Amino acid sequence: MKLYNTLSKRKEEFVPLEEGKVRMYVCGPTVYNFIHIGNARPMIVFDTVRRYLEYKGFDVNYVSNFTDVDDKIIKKAIEEGVTADEISKRYIAECKKDMEGMNVRPATTHPLATEEIGGMIEMIRTLIEKGCAYEKNGTVYFRTRKFKEYGKLSHKNLDDLRSGERSLLVTGEDEKEDPLDFVLWKPKKEGEPSWQSPWSDGRPGWHIECSEMSKKYLGEQIDIHAGGEDLVFPHHENEIAQSEAANGKEFAKYWMHNAFLNIDNRKMSKSLGNFRTVREISEQYDLQVLRFFMLSAHYRSPLNFSADLMEASKSGLTRIVNAADNLKFLMGNAKTEGMTAEEAEAYEKTQEYVRAFESAMEDDFNTADAAAAVFERVKYSNTTADAGSSKEFLQKLLDRLVSLTDVLGLIVDRKEEMLDGEIEKLIEERQAARKAKDFARADAIRDELLEKGIILKDTREGVQWKRA
Ligand code: AMP
Ligand code: ZN
C-alpha cells in the first residue's frame, strides 16, 4: 500500500511501526460554531483511510482532538454572554451529530485540549529543561533555531523564513529572542479561561495541544499524522519541532494532508458569504450524499462544491442503493437456496472488481477510482442477478457489494428517515392547517410524522420536534 508523505513529497510504501497496528492522529476542529463542509473533508477522507486500514486487517488506534480553548471560542462566548465551556460543549455535541450523519465513526479517543493541560505543562517544562524553550514575562516561547530540522515538513528553510520575519512579529511578542520563536504558553487576559502553571496563570498555545495529546494516547512515535493542507505550516511544522525536541525521536512517519474544498470555484470564507455548514446541507440532502461527493475526488486534489456535483453524487449513490435493494428484493423471492456451478463461476468474476477497488485504494487512497470499481460491480450484479438466481448467490453478491461500500463509509441499506428540512416543511403545513381550522389535515400530518418516528410537542415557544 502506497501513500503520499508530505515529509518526503513522494508516495511511499506503508510500513507500520508495529506489525498489524496503526497509530493515527488527525487534527480536529476548533469548536466555536457548526462545522462547515470544508471541515467535513478531512473527517470523511481520514475516516475512509481508517476504514481501509481496518479492512486490510490493521488494528487502528485513531485519535482526533477537539480544540476547545481558543480565541474564537472566547470571542463567541463574550458575544453570547455565556462561558467558553458552554460554547465548546455545545458545538462538540453538534459536531458529533454531523459526524454521525456523515457516517464518520467516532475516534478511538476524542481528547479535549482543556482536559490535557497538565500534560502540556509537563511537556513545556521538558522543553525548557532541554534549552529548547524559554520564559519571558509569563509567556513561554519555543526556541525555533534550536531545532535544526525546522522546516522539514513544509520544505521551507530557516533563512527564507527569516527574510519574511517582519510578518511573523506579532504585537506584544517583540520580547522574543528570535522572530521565528512561537508561543507554548501565554498569560491570560481579563475574563479568559486560565490554568495555573509555573510561568503564569494562562493557557497553552495551539500547537502544543496536539503534540501532547498525540503522545498521551498514541505514544512518542506514531504512524500517520493528518489534517488539512493549511495545517502543514506552521501547525504541523511546530508540532514536529516540539515533539521531536521533547522526546528525542521521530514524531510521525507519514504526514497526510487533504487539499481544500472550494465553493463554486471560490475559496469558502465568511467575508465572501459562501460559507456552508454541514447542518445546512443536511436540510437538503442525506449527508451520505455529501460523503459520496467528498470521495468523488482524490483527497490531494482541490474539490469544488456545487449544486450540480451534489446532484451527480446523489444519483450515483441512488444507483448503488437501488442495486442493493434489488438484490434484497430478489432474495426475498428466490426459489432456490444453494448456488449453482454457473453462479459460482459468475461470483468468482466479481473478484475482479474487488481487485480494482483495492488497487485504487492502495494507490494513495484513490477513492474516485475505487468508486468507479463499485459502479462496475453494480452494473455486473444488475445484469447477472435475476428472478431465477439462488438465494446464496444473491446474498454473496450483496455481501461483496456491502464490504466495498462499507470501506467508503456508505450505507446502502435505504434509509427511510426524513430530512430535517422535510420535517420542518410538514410542521409549517400543519400550523397553516390549524390556523385554517382544518384539524383533520393537521392531525393527519402529525400522524404521518409519528409513523416516521418524529414526535411533535406543542409549546408556548412554538412546535418542537424530536426523533423517537
Ligand atoms: P479548524 O477548525 O480550522 O482548525 O479546521 C479543522 C480541520 O478542517 C483542519 O484539518 C483544516 O485543515 C480543515 N479545513 C478547514 N477548512 C477547510 C477547507 N475549506 N477544505 C478542506 N479542509 C479544511
Ligand atoms: Zn493539530
Compute CA distances 61 → 20, 23, 305, whole Å: 11, 5, 31
28 CA to centre of ligand 2 in angstroms: 7
Mean pLDDT of all residues in 272-278: 88
Mean pLDDT of all residues in 3-12: 98
Atom of ligand 1 nearest to the CA of 231: 12
Mean pLDDT of all residues in 410-417: 74
108 CA to centre of ligand 2 in angstroms: 17
Residue 226 has pLDDT above 80, yes or no: yes
223 grid coordinates: 504512524
* Crossing angle (nearest 10°) for helices 391-407 and 341-349: 10
Helix then strand then coil, in percent of the chain rounded to 5, is 50, 15, 30
Higher per-residue pLDDT: 330 or 270: 330
Residue 168 has pLDDT above 60, yes or no: no
Mean pLDDT of all residues in 347-354: 95
130 CA to centre of ligand 2 in angstroms: 23
The residue whose grid cell reads 447477472 is: 384
Per-residue pLDDT tens digits for 287-343: 999 999 999 999 999 999 999 999 999 999 999 999 999 999 999 999 999 999 999
Residue 17 has what pLDDT?
A: 98
Q: Relative to the alpha carbon of 304, which ligand is closest?
A: 1
Q: Relative to the alpha carbon of 63, which ligand is closest?
A: 2
- Which residue's CA lies nearest to atom 4 of ligand 1? 29
Residue 78 has what pLDDT?
A: 94
The answer to whether the beta carbons of residues 52 and 14 sit under 8 Å apart is no
226 grid coordinates: 493528518
275 grid coordinates: 460559507
Residue 454 has what pLDDT?
A: 86
Task: Check whether the bond before 234 is cis (ω within 30° of 0).
Answer: yes
- Which residue's CA lies nearest to atom 5 of ligand 1? 29
Q: Relative to the alpha carbon of 210, which ligand is closest?
A: 2
Mean pLDDT of all residues in 77-93: 96
Residue 296 has what pLDDT?
A: 96
Residue 419 has what pLDDT?
A: 76
293 grid coordinates: 461527493
Q: What distance in Å separates the CA atoms of residue 430 and residue 411, rounded to the nearest whole number?
A: 32
Atom of ligand 1 nearest to the CA of 229: 12
- The mean pLDDT of the chain is 94
pLDDT band at 159 (very low <50, low <70, confident <90, very high): confident
pLDDT band at 449 (very low <50, low <70, confident <90, very high): confident
Cβ < 6 A, ligand 1 pocket = 27, 29-30, 38-39, 41-42, 227-228, 230-231, 258, 260-261, 268
Residue 56 has what pLDDT?
A: 97
Higher per-residue pLDDT: 38 or 419: 38
pLDDT band at 420 (very low <50, low <70, confident <90, very high): confident
Residue 391 has what pLDDT?
A: 97
Mean pLDDT of all residues in 259-283: 89
311 CA to centre of ligand 1 in angstroms: 24
Residue 25 has pLDDT above 70, yes or no: yes
End-to-end CA distance of the chain: 43
Residue 421 has what pLDDT?
A: 81
The residue whose grid cell reads 463574550 is: 78
Mean pLDDT of all residues in 256-262: 97
List all residues 6 or more positions away from 124 whose beta carbon is below 8 Å from its beta carbon: 133, 140, 184, 185, 197, 204, 208
Mean pLDDT of all residues in 201-219: 97
Residue 459 has what pLDDT?
A: 84
Mean pLDDT of all residues in 125-132: 98
How many C-beta atoms lie closer than 10 Å to residue 110's C-beta? 18
199 grid coordinates: 510561568
What is the length of the chain? 468
169 CA to centre of ligand 1 in angstroms: 24
Residue 151 has pLDDT above 60, yes or no: yes
229 CA to centre of ligand 1 in angstroms: 8
The residue whose grid cell reads 463461476 is: 345
Per-residue pLDDT tens digits for 228-250: 999 999 999 999 999 999 999 99
DSSP code of 115? G
Mean pLDDT of all residues in 355-378: 98
